[in-house]
Amino acid sequence: MSLHAAPRFLIAGGGTGGHIMPALAIADALRARCEAEVLFVGTARGLESRLVPQAGYRLELVRAGQLNQVSLATRLKTLADLPRGLMQCVGTLRAFRPAAVIGVGGYASGPMMAAAILARVPTLAFEPNAVPGMANRLVGRWVTAAAVNFAPAAQYFRRAQVTGIPVRAEFFQLASRPANLTPHLLVFGGSQGARALNQTMPKIAAALLEAVPGLTVLHQAGARHTEATQAAYEASGAPRDRWQVAAFLDDMPKRFEAADLVLARSGASTAAELCAAGKPAVLVPFPQSADDHQRRNAEEMARAGAARMLLEQELTPESLLRALTELLSDPARLREMAGKARMLAHPDAAERIAAMAMEIARGRGRNEA
C-alpha cells in the first residue's frame, strides 16, 4: 500500500499497562509524524478496553487468550478460540487495509501478527522484555522488523533494532536530587502492589531508619494491601513521621524525582522509567512473570551497574536491610548507579519505532523468505 495523506497503521496486543502505555506512545508518534490513522486490536479482558478509547483511538476486540503458564482447560479454550480469532483478524485486515501492523505482545498480538504475515502485510514487533513473550516468540522469525528494549531479545527476531521503551517525557525532565537533602526511599510494587515487598519492608523499617540518619520512606502498597501494610509499619516501632504508606501514587515522575533509591519489581515499563529518570534501584523480580521476564530485565540492569537484583527466594529481612543500608549509606555509589541507569535510557524510543513502522510500510528493508 502506498503511503498518502493519512496512512493507516494497526497496533495489536495489550493486556497490561506495560503493553498498552508504550503502544499508545507509538500511536501518538505516528499521528504526530504523518497524521496516521491508527486502529488498535485487543481483547475485552485487557486494560486496552479502557485505556485505548480514553486516549481517543478506535479499538476492535477479538477472541484470544493465554497459552503460556495456564491450566490445561484454559489452554484448550484458547486453542478452540484460535480459528475464530484468526478469522476476525483476517476480516479486520481486509476492512482496514493497514500499511503495516505493529504487535506489542499480549493476547491479541499473536493471532493478528500471524494473520498479517500470512497476508504479506508488513509487520513490526515491539518487545519490551529481555526475553520475548510467547506471542512474539511465535512470530519473531517471520516479522519484517522488530524494535526491542534489550539487546539479548534481538536474537529472536529478523532485522531487530534496540530502540528502548517509549516513556512519558516527564521522566526525562526530572531535576537531580540536591546532595544536602536527607535520603528518601520509594517502595513501588506496581499499581497492584507487591506482596513480598509489603510483607518484608515493615519488618526492617525500624532498623533501616535507625541505620540511615534522616531517611524517609514512601511505600505504594496497592489498594488491596494498604491497611495490612500500614498496620505492619505501625507495629514495627518505626518513627511515624518518617514513613508513609499509600494505596496508589498518581504522579510517578514527581515521586521518582524525590527518591534517592527505588525498591521495585522489574517489569519492563518500570525498568524503562527508572532508566529515563536516572534512578538507582533494588529490583525484586516477580517470580511468576511469564517466561521469567522480570528476572531477565533485572539481570540486564544489574549487569549494567544501574541496579542491584534480589531474587524473591533470597529476599529476607536481613538481605533486604543489608542491600538498602549499603546503598543508602553510599551517596557516591548511588550517583554512579544513576549515571549508568541514564545510559540505558532511550528518550527517542517512540519516534524511532514510528520511523521503523513507516519505513516497512513503504516497503524498504523487506526481505521476503
80-104 pLDDT per residue, tens: 455 566 778 999 999 999 999 999 9
214 lies in some domain:
yes
pLDDT of amino acid 82: 57
For 312, the grid coordinates are 524473591
pLDDT of amino acid 288: 83
Helices in 97-176 by DSSP H: which ranges? 109-118, 134-139
Spacing of C-alpha 211 from chain mean position: 33
CB of 352 within 8 A of CB of 28?
Answer: no
Q: Rounded to an integer, what distance in angstroms lies between the CA atom of residue 131 and that of residue 315?
A: 23
Residue reference for cell 494505596: 247
From 176, 129, 146, select the one nearest 272 (Cα to Cα): 129
Q: Rounded to an integer, what distance in angstroms lies between the CA atom of residue 12 and that of residue 25?
A: 14
The pair phi, psi for residue 58, each rounded to 5°, is -80, 140
Residue 344: is its pLDDT beyond 60? yes
Q: Are 187 and 336 found together in one domain?
A: yes
219 lies in some domain:
yes
pLDDT of amino acid 15: 80
In the chain, how many domains are there? 2
Q: Are 75 and 198 found together in one domain?
A: no
Range list of β-strands (E), 152-214? 160-162, 184-188
Q: Are 50 and 135 found together in one domain?
A: yes
Q: Rounded to an integer, what distance in angstroms lies between the CA atom of residue 353 and that of residue 272?
A: 15
91 lies in some domain:
yes
CATH number at residue 160: 3.40.50.2000
242 lies in some domain:
yes
SS3 226: helix
369 lies in some domain:
no
Q: Rounded to an integer, what distance in angstroms lies between the CA atom of residue 110 and that of residue 91?
A: 15
What is the residue range of 203's domain?
Answer: 170-343
Q: How confident is the model at residue 285 (pLDDT cuts 50, 70, 90)?
A: very high
- Average pLDDT over the chain reads 88
CB of 301 within 8 A of CB of 307?
Answer: yes
Q: Are 129 and 91 found together in one domain?
A: yes
Q: Rounded to an integer, what distance in angstroms lies between the CA atom of residue 139 and that of residue 130?
A: 16
Of 106-120, 210-224, 252-266, 329-343, minimum mean pLDDT range? 106-120
Q: Are 112 and 206 found together in one domain?
A: no
368 lies in some domain:
no
pLDDT of amino acid 193: 57
Q: Are 293 and 248 found together in one domain?
A: yes
CB of 223 within 8 A of CB of 243?
Answer: no
Q: Are 146 and 176 found together in one domain?
A: no
366 lies in some domain:
no
Q: Are 47 and 94 found together in one domain?
A: yes
Q: Rounded to an integer, what distance in angstroms lies between the CA atom of residue 291 and that of residue 350?
A: 25
- HSE of 166, CA atoms in CB hemisphere, 13 A: 22
Q: Are 182 and 328 found together in one domain?
A: yes
Q: How confident is the model at residue 249 (pLDDT cuts 50, 70, 90)?
A: confident
Q: Are 303 and 158 found together in one domain?
A: no
Q: Are 14 and 64 found together in one domain?
A: yes
Q: Rounded to an integer, what distance in angstroms lies between the CA atom of residue 216 and that of residue 208?
A: 10
DSSP string, 234-248: HHHT--GGGEEEES-
CB of 319 within 8 A of CB of 343?
Answer: no
Q: Rounded to an integer, what distance in angstroms lies between the CA atom of residue 259 and that of residue 217?
A: 9
Q: Are 128 and 214 found together in one domain?
A: no
Residue 353: is its pLDDT beyond 50? yes
175 lies in some domain:
yes
Provide the whole-model pTM. 0.76
Q: Rounded to an integer, what distance in angstroms lies between the CA atom of residue 96 and that of residue 79?
A: 26
Q: Rounded to an integer, what distance in angstroms lies between the CA atom of residue 103 and that of residue 10?
A: 8
| Single-letter amino acid, residue 2 | S
